[in-house]
Amino acid sequence: MLTDKVVIITGIGPGMGRKLALEAAKVGAKLVLAARSKDFVEGVAREVQAAGGKAIAVTADVSKQEDCNRIVAAAVAEYGKLDGLVNSAYGSGPFVSFEDGDLNDWRKAMDVTLFGTLQMVKAALPHMKDKGGSIVNVGTMETRKPLVAHGSYVVPKVALGGATRQLAIELGKYKIRVNSAIMGWMWGAPVESYMTHMAKENGTTLDAMKAGISANIPLGHIPPDQECAKAILVLLSDFTSQVTGAALDINGGEYVPL
């Protein structure tokens, strides 16, 4: 599906980011993996290489334009081109109510989630303009169904959705497609850790929490992060060559948009 396509993925972490890297390599992508954690991102690159794929790691903070430039420069230096970009890096402040929260935490989150994405696109644009490419911005179902105290996470993601549509309109003339992948609950290490913590706080069990969430999902289970990652591969691929400015909801049917 992505044979010989060079793809940058930012925000590599223990959940969907890692799974996306592994799945993209399986279908032929040559990867540049970026994250702030040097040890982790280099470990994921080694996993990809051990499985026979191609990947390099770049330690970077996308809130800094110079780091974004460095990520793109590494891709071009290693592989000679750039075909795809997945903006998965995000920021969030403490999960507290708006009333009790500090808006500086919201600003810091915006610097990563929104402006980090825009800075990555700025850096990538000169290398995509001649032949086109695909940009996928990772959103969240919480922009459809906000949760109390999650404002510093949700508001930057809402802004990211607007930026996706704006970029799709402006960059289409270069044959650059820009789409959103709107993720719901994804079962993997981060969500398991979160639910385990919440189960203890609420005096219940992990299985009970999973069952309660799954009851609201038509497919009957929390979607595995590995399977959610595969949907992003479709948006990166030529199978969606005529799709831009779209938002693909990946949530097992928990939220069905009009």
Q: Give catalytic residues, as residue numbers.
A: 153
**Which residue from 77, 81, 185 is spatially nearest to 127, judged by alpha carbons?**
81
Q: Name the one residue in this structure whose structure tokens are 């290398």.
A: 127
Q: Are 173 and 205 in contact (CB under 8 A)?
A: no
Distance CA 150, CA 89 (A): 17
Can you spell out the DSSP letters for 153-215? HHHHHHHHHHHHHHHHHHHGGGTEEEEEEEE---BSHHHHHHHHHHHHHTT--HHHHHHHHHT
Distance CA 67, CA 205 (A): 42
Render the burial of 165-184: b for 16+ CB within 10 Å, e for the rest: bebbeebeeeebbbbbbbbb
Q: Are 6 and 32 in contact (CB under 8 A)?
A: yes
Look up residue 4 and give its amino acid: D
Distance CA 209, CA 206 (A): 5
Distance CA 58, CA 74 (A): 8
